[in-house]
Structure formats: C-alpha cells, structure tokens
Amino acid sequence: MSDLRLRLGHSPLAYRTKARSARVPLGQILVNAGVISHRQLIHALNQQLHLGAPLGAVLAAEGLVDEKLILDCVALQHDARRVDLALDPPDYRLFGLRPCAFWARHQVVPWLRLGDTLFVATSRPDSLKSLRLALEPEIGAILPVVAAPQDIATCLSATIGPALARRAETLVKETESCRTWNWRTHPRRNWIGAAGVACLTLALLAPLYALTVITGIAVFTLLLSTGLKLATFLRQTKPHTAAYSPPTLADSTRLKLPCVSVMVPLLREHEITNALIARLSRLTYPKALLDVVLVLEADDNVTRDTLAHTVLPAWMRVIEVPSTGTLTTKPRALNYALDFCRGSIIGIWDAEDAPAPDQIETVVHYLDEAPPEVACVQGVLDYYNARDNWMSRCFAIEYATWWRVIMPGIARLGLIIPLGGTTVFFRRDVLEKLRGWDAHNVTEDADLGFRLARYGYRTDLIRTVTREEATCRPWPWIRQRSRWLKGFMVTYAVHMRQPRVLLSEIGAYKFWGFQVFFICALSQFLLAPVLWSFWLVPFGVSHPVATVLGTSATTVLAVLFILCEVSAMIIAGYAVRGRAHRHLMAWVPTLALYFPMATLAAYKAVYELIRKPFFWDKTQHGHSLNGGGGD
C-alpha cells in the first residue's frame, strides 16, 4: 500500500467532526482562487436556484470552469483527498461488501478501509446520504475522497464490469425472455417438425388444394391487416379526444426539472460521432440536468478511436460495455449502462438521430402532467435524407404512414403501442421494476412495449420529432428489416408461451389486437408471393386456384387485392399530405415495388430464427449526414 493512501492528510476524526456549516461555499472558493468572477458566480447561482443542479455541474455545463479544477475545489471544500484512481487504485476486495450494481448505481468506488471507516471515491461528496444509510449500520463511517466521474466509471468497468455485463444479459426474468430459445432443444420442435412434414406431404399430394388453403390464409390476414389500417386511419382523421391530446406545457418555474439520462448505443460508428455531438448540442434543456451516455462495446476499436479524437461536452460521457464473448446486442448494452445513468427519466436515441431541440422539455412536462400509469412516452420518427434516392423516399413514406397514422390510430383505439427503438423515454423506477430490456431480443423495443402493458402501464405518443437516417441501399435495408421481423417473431413467441396468462393480464380486446398486429405483420410478408400471383388475373391470365374456387371467385379476389392496395395508397397519401412531406406524394404508387424486399427479409428472418436467433445484424449509419432538427 502506498504512502499516499496511508497519509490521508487528516484523520477520520477530522472528517467526522468538521461541521457542515463550517465549509466554505464552492463558489467562494472559486472566486477566491480567481477562477471565476463575482458576476459569473451570481449567474451560476441563479441557474442553480432555478434548476436545482449542483453548482459544479452548472459551471461545467456553462463552460465556465474545467471539470478537473471544479473537483480540486470540491475536495478542498470537503477537506477530502483528491485521488487519481489510475495511479492509486482501490482495494479491490472492498467491492465484495455489496452487489456490483450497488456501486455502479451510486457511482462510487470503495477505495480504502481504515478501521471502522470506509473511504469511497466520489465526484459528489455532498450526495452520500443514501450511501451512508445503506452502509454505515454495518460497515461504519463513510467518508469521501474525490475522483473524476469518468475515472470512477472506468474503474468500475475494470473491476466489476464483467460481472455487471453478465448480469445485463440475464436481467429480465427467464419467463419473460427469449434467451432460452434454442431450436435444437425447443420442446415443441418435434410437433412443429411433424406438422411441417404433414403439410409438405399434403401439398405434394394435392398441390391445388394446398395452394387454395394458403391463399385463404393470406386473404384472411390481408383483410385483417387492411381492416386494422383503415380503423387506425379513421380514428386518426376524427377530431382528437382529450385522452390523447398532449397536456399544456407547464410553467418551468413551477416544475422542478429532473435530471434526464439519454443513452446512445454506438457500434462501429466512424462517420457519425461529430454529427451526433452537433445535433445534440442544439438541445435547449439545461445541460446541467442533461446526462448523455454514449454506450460502446469494449472491443469496438473503431468507435473508441473516433471518440479519442473527439472533445465531448461536459454533459456527455462514455460507458464501455465489457465483452463476455457470448452476446453483443443493443439491449444488453442498455441494461449495462442503465446502472450508470444519473437521471430519473431514461431515454434512448440512436447514433444517427437528430432530435427536436425542445424534445427533452416536451418529455419532462408530459410525464409531469401524466398519471402514474403512463410509464413511457414515444416520440415521432422521421427521416432527414428522404430526398437521397427512391428507396429513401419510400422509406420516408412508410415511416410517415406508421408514425403519423397507424401508431396514433392504435393509441386511440386503446391497443398496445409497440415501442420504437429510439426517441422513447421511461420513468426510471418503472423501467427498473421491469428489469430493463431482454438482452437477447433483437427488437427489444417492441417486446418492452408489450411487457409494460402486461404490468399495467401505458405508453403515450407525444408530439416531438426525431429525424433519422433512412437506410437507402437494398441489402442493408433487407438486413435491417430481417432483424425487425425476426424480433417480431421472437416477441410473439415469448408472449404467447402462456396465452391464457397473457389474456388475463391485458384483457380480451388488447389480446386480439396483439394477435392481429403480429400475425398480420409477419404473414403479409411471408405469404406475399401467393398474393402477387393474383395480379396477373386482370390481364386475362388464369390462376391455378380458379380450378378449385371458380373463375368468378378468383376475379373477386383479384379485385379485392386491388382495393386493398388502393386503400394502402390512400392512407400513405394522407400521411404525406403535410408541407414537410408533400414532395413524396408522387412516389406513393411506387410502394408496390418497394415492399417486395420485405419478403426477402422475412425469409432471411425465418432462417436466422432457426440458426442464429440472437444475431444482431447491425445497420451502419453515416451515409447521409445532413441531419436537421425536428419539426
């Protein structure tokens, strides 16, 4: 043990007997040292009074004082030792005093124990009350030494990171997770295999009748899907009821603004980092209360090297997720980083996102006005590169339809909202109650949306927009869509393990809405080739099922398909009628050529569901960097 750690400068008794009232205020220390002026101090104190944030955080966020200098003064204020954890590491045995997540949540490092006194490294010596309540009855006095927040996070990752990473993989209850999915050991594998062989045999023996049955299933799900779209469309075109109108924004002087943590998962991002910082810098929420956490994998050298050459603002920090060699998914990274977040509201953005400048204010005020059962709010997603090419235009039309018609309609129908992977914000206590995200589900967002509903909570849509980068190349689009569809398949399978339990938890109305949503979303792509074949009928080509159903019935089906397609175009046209999207109107008819790619993605998803159910097919960002703010 080094002399430095033995020579703490003052005895533990000195720490305990120094009266709090005798401490010199941090602002006075900074002024006396000539670091800031009296005018700057008054400005910072006014900000502190308004925000309720620590003075040091206000000064750092305003760019008035360097964080290192603030920490030196904080140590002086509390008569505490200033330590560099890299040069003078902690006694690693002390981490065993409590579970790993305890230290991460409190953002402290158990540094040294002398007799009945435990010294903990912290960047906030004034915020140890909850730590003392948890530790002092058993361990003795808790006294601070001061270390930089990033040094604390680095030390925690190096010491207890692997344990936290393993915990992140199994955080969700096994009964609510897909991690036990294994086709080779699936309990219903033999039954499913036998049913598949039987269907294939019947198809070979009676191909026309098999095709007719498949056509019937495809038609039935098409009608259900079209019916759901029309229902959401009609609900969306009616005047908004008070139940779904966002509340009037409260006066900021009345509301005590909370600290908001937003996690931004990064993986092999080289082009996007500088653009991301520029976009998030436009946020108008007080930076002293904003905690942006860039989450990257420990073995992601590409992103780490990029960040090493990037100067991050004081309100933005990096958390590295240790590798366990078994799983690399976005929800695993989110589970790990959650313990390091400081906010009472937890949000998610993607690397390429450009959120509306006032987005955090909108979220905070909405959750303040909303009843407790509203555990989550979801913003609207849009694209900033809709003019890049034909694919980006079609993707923008699809998203406009989804987020401006279908999703609001689903909300007004009282059905469960499947969350998006970004611009989603949670009450932290509820998120922790549900134990975060299923680390093995590649559409962890949709799964969490339904788990929230099963626990009696609700998601509301709010009028704030985040612009993203539309995937506008065929193969990356197929890879991205296959991940979404595979996740939908897994999510449906997980929640339908015990249908009766699901029915009792969410009620019959939402239960059948759940069935329609997932079955239609999957079957319409998997069975699409059967429906495509009917497009030849209006041109006089005889369809094989005509020998079973008759020519008239086949013609009726062909007309029905045309009507369904026309209704989809009407809904899409309605979605892009606004000034920001009007340029897309002429491209709506070309969606018929766009969606066939999703069928390829669906078959890829089925293959991966069997062979690689937890494989995360990463979407690479940064091809279009001209992002703007939200509308």
Whether the pLDDT of residue 339 is over 50: the answer is yes
Least confident among 253-257, 320-324, 343-347, 438-442: 253-257
Average pLDDT for residues 316-331, to the nearest whole number? 90
Q: 390-401 and 551-575 are packed helices; what angle lies between their axes, rounded to 10 degrees?
A: 90
> What three-state secondary structure class fits 424?
strand
Whether the pLDDT of residue 53 is over 50: the answer is yes
Percentage of residues of the chain with pLDDT beyond 90: 57
For residues 202-240, one letter each, b for 16 or more C-beta atoms within 10 angstroms of the residue's C-beta and e for the rest, the string is: eeeeeeeebbbbbbeebbebbebbbebbbbbbebbeeee
Tell me how far apart the alpha carbons of residues 86 and 41 are, in angstroms, rounded to a whole number.
32
Sheet holding 109-114, edge to edge: 109-114, 117-122, 141-146
Whether the pLDDT of residue 46 is over 90: the answer is no
Least confident among 219-233, 235-249, 592-606: 235-249
Burial of 619 (0-12, 13-18, 19+ CB in 10 A): middle
What band does 242 get if pLDDT is binned at 50, 70 and 90?
very low
Instruction: Check if the beta carbon of residue 377 is closer than 8 Å to that of residue 366.
Output: yes
Contacts of residue 320, defined as CB under 8 A and 6 or more positions apart, other chains included, come to 157, 161, 296, 297, 298, 304
Least confident among 64-68, 108-112, 494-498: 64-68
Least confident among 277-291, 295-309, 496-510, 540-554: 540-554
Average pLDDT for residues 129-156, to the nearest whole number? 89
What band does 8 get if pLDDT is binned at 50, 70 and 90?
very low
At 452-464, the pLDDT tens digits run 999 999 999 999 9
What band does 630 get if pLDDT is binned at 50, 70 and 90?
very low
Residue 461 CB neighbour total at 10 angstroms: 19
The pLDDT value given to residue 4: 35
The pLDDT value given to residue 5: 38
What pTM value is reported for the model? 0.89
Average pLDDT for residues 233-256, to the nearest whole number? 60
The pLDDT value given to residue 64: 86
The pLDDT value given to residue 260: 97
Instruction: Check if the beta carbon of residue 128 is closer than 8 Å to that of residue 122.
Output: yes
Task: Report the chain's mean pLDDT, rounded to a whole number.
Answer: 87
Whether the pLDDT of residue 247 is over 50: the answer is no
Tell me how far apart the alpha carbons of residues 261 and 428 are, in angstroms, rounded to a whole number.
10
Whether the pLDDT of residue 594 is over 60: the answer is yes
Instruction: Check if the beta carbon of residue 451 is closer than 8 Å to that of residue 472.
Output: no
Where would I find the beta strands (DSSP E) of 363-519?
Answer: 374-383, 424-427, 458-468
Whether the pLDDT of residue 502 is over 80: the answer is yes
Average pLDDT for residues 559-582, to the nearest whole number? 93
